[in-house]
Structure 1
Amino acid sequence: MEKKPFFQGLTKKTIALALAVILWAFTNFELDVERDVRIPLHLSGLPEDLIIVNNAPENVDLSLRGARNLLSSFAFSNKSIPVDLQKTERGVLKIDLKRAASQIVPRGIDIVAARPSKLSLNIDMLVTKRFKVKPVLGEPDSGYEISKKLKIVPQFVKVKGPASQLGKLESIETAKIKLEGEKAEFTAPVQLQLPSQYMEVLEGDHVNVTVYIKEIILSKEFRDVDIVPRNFGELEYTTTPELKATLVFNGPYKTINDLTSNDVKVFIDGAEMGESRVKRLRVKVQYPNSDLLKLTKTSPTSVRVRVKPPPPEESPET
C-alpha cells in the first residue's frame, strides 16, 4: 500500500515543530532579559502650608529584568512613579525610589536598580511676609549726583516663600538701575530680585522708582588776580600797594571746571571818582556764564583811591 505524502518524513516534521515551540518559549519566557526605561516622577498631595525647597528629579531611570513578553507588553510610556506627600511634615523626607517604582511594575518584572535610588525632600512651612523695597543704583555720570531721596511705588511688597528663607531677609532688592546718561529726574519700572526660586511676590514683580539727578555744584577759588584800573584817563592817583584779588565761584560741575583765571576780569572804575579826591571804589568782576556761575566771595571788595590835585595854574605876567 502506498504511503500518503503527509505522513512522509513525519518524524522530522514533529522534531522541527517541537524545536520551534521550544525556541518560541525560550525567546518569550527567558528571565534574564534586561531593559532600561526612564519614567517620570510624580509628586502629589503636598499640604498647602508646606513647600519643597530643593529640586526633585523629573525622571527616574530603572533597570528592569523579566520575561521578554512581559517587558514588551508593559506600557511604560503612560506610567509615572507616584509619591504621595499628604502626610508630610516640616523637615527632611527620605524616599526609596526603587520601592516607590514597585507600585507600577507588574509581577514577573524585577527592578534591578533605580537611578537615583534615594530622594531627599527638604520640606518647609510656606508663609507670607511684608518687606521694604530697596533700590539698587548704578553710578551717575561724572559731575552728576542724586539730589534727594528716591520715590518708590509701592514702598513695601508681600512675598510668599519658605519660612526659613524669608526669616533671613530684611528687604527686597530691585534690579540695578542704570544712571549713565541721565541728566535729570526720571521714573522707571524696575524688576524685583528675589534671592530664591522658591519665593514669589504676591502683587506684581516690579516697582516704579523715581530718581532725582542733578549736576554737582562745585566751588572754585582764584588767588592773586590782578585788579585793573579803568577809566582814569590822565588822572594821577595812588592805591593800595598791591592790586590783587581773591575770588570764589560756585557753579555746575562742567562749567566751573572749564572756568580759568583768564576768563575773569577784575577792575575798579575811575569814572566813579566824580569830584572826590579820596574814595573807596568797588571792585568789579566780569566773568562768562553769569547765568550759571555765582560769585560768592570777592576780597577785597573795594580799593581806596587817592587822586592827586592838579598843579596850580600859573598867574599871567603883568
Structure 2
Amino acid sequence: MASRFQNLRPGVLILALAISVFIWAVAQGTSSVIQSFDVEVELVGVEDGLVITDQSSDEINVRLRGSRASLRNLNTDQLKYRVDADGGKPGVAVYEVDVETIDHPTGTQFVGYSPSRLKVRFEKRGRKAVGVRAEIEGVPAPGFHVAGVEIQPEKVWLEGARSQVMRLNEVATESIDIAGLAASAQREVRLVLGGGTVWAEDNKPVQVEVRIEPDPVPDPVPDLEDQDLGDPRLAEPA
C-alpha cells in the first residue's frame, strides 16, 4: 500500500487534498442549522395624543433555519419587528405577531417564535406646569447654615400619561450634596422623573444656587458682677 502512494506525484496528492477540503467546505456551507435570537419590538404610527404606558414584551424571540452560509453574515442587532399602531385608542390593544415581516436572508425560514401576540396599553397624553424642588443633602461646615435656595427655572412643563402627569404638583432635582461647604454653591442638575411615561418638555438641566452664610454671632451676655446695682439701702420698701 505504501508503495502505491510513493509512486504518486506530489502534485496529485496536493490536488486530491484540495478537492477534499473543497467538498468539506461545501458540505458545511449547505448543511441546515437553526439559529435563535431576539428581535426588538418597535411601535410606529402612535397617535400624537396617546402615550404607551405598558407593553407585554419588548422583544420577539425567533428561530430561523437556513444554511450556515446564509446565516453567517446575519446581523441580528439591526433587526426590528415593527408594529403599526396607527389608529390606536386609549385602552389595551392586541397585535398578532407576523414574523415574516422581519427581514431575513433568502433561503431561510422561520420555524418558531414567541410570543405569538403583543398587548399594548395606550393612555391619553397630558400636560401640566409644576414647581421644581431642590433635593439638598448634608449640612454645611460648622459655623455655617443654608440661608436660601434659588432655582432657575422655578417651574417646568411636564408631559406624558395624563393620569400620572395630573397628580404631580412638583418635581425634585438630583441630590445636591452640601456637606462641609463654607460658601455658596451653584449646581447644574437634572430632574428626577422616575418612569418613562412622564417627561419634561424641555430636557435641559436646571440651575440651583444654594446660599451658605456664617451663623450669626450672638450678642454678648452682660456680666452682672460688673454692673453697679446702687445702694441697696436706697431701694424703696416693698
TM-score computed with the length of structure 2 as normaliser: 0.64
**Secondary structure in 2 aligned to 1:164?**
helix
CA distance in 1: counterparts of 2:136 and 2:186, whole angstroms:
13
Matched, 1:85 2:85: yes
Contact 1:36–1:61 (Cα < 8 Å) also in 2? no
CA shift for structure 1 position 114: 1.8
Matched, 1:196 2:121: no
CA distance in 2: counterparts of 1:169 and 1:40, whole angstroms:
32
Q: Number of aligned pairs?
A: 192
Cα deviation 1:17-69 (Å, max 9, x = unaligned):
xxxxxxxxxxxxxxxx773443443421111121212357554222367xx68
Aligned to 1:243: none
Letter of the 1:117 partner, please give it.
Answer: S
**Of 283, 287, 295, the match for 2:220:** 295
Matched, 1:136 2:135: yes
Q: Which fold has the larger relative contact order, with Cα–Cα distance below 8 Å and residues 6 or more apart in sequence? A: 2
Contact 2:149–2:209 (Cα < 8 Å) also in 1? yes
Cα deviation 1:221-250 (Å, max 9, x = unaligned):
xxxxxxxxxxxxxxxxxxxxxxxxxxxxx2
CA distance in 2: counterparts of 1:207 and 1:120, whole angstroms:
37
Please list every run of 5 or more consecutive structure 2 residues that lacks an aligned counterpart in the other structure.
1-31, 232-238
**Secondary structure in 1 aligned to 2:163?**
helix
Give the structure with higher Rg (CA): 1
**Secondary structure in 2 aligned to 1:53?**
strand
CA distance in 1: counterparts of 2:88 and 2:191, whole angstroms:
32
Contact 2:55–2:121 (Cα < 8 Å) also in 1? no
Could you tell me the percent identity over the aligned residues?
Answer: 20
Contact 1:192–1:205 (Cα < 8 Å) also in 2? no
**Secondary structure in 2 aligned to 1:123?**
strand
CA distance in 2: counterparts of 1:56 and 1:302, whole angstroms:
87
CA distance in 2: counterparts of 1:214 and 1:201, whole angstroms:
33
Contact 2:51–2:124 (Cα < 8 Å) also in 1? yes
Q: 4+ residue stretches of structure 1 with deviation over 4 A? A: 55-58, 75-80, 102-106, 108-112
CA distance in 1: counterparts of 2:206 and 2:108, whole angstroms:
57
C-alpha spacing 1:157/1:104, structure 2 compared with 1 (3 Å): closer
CA distance in 2: counterparts of 1:182 and 1:213, whole angstroms:
8
C-alpha spacing 1:297/1:80, structure 2 compared with 1 (3 Å): same
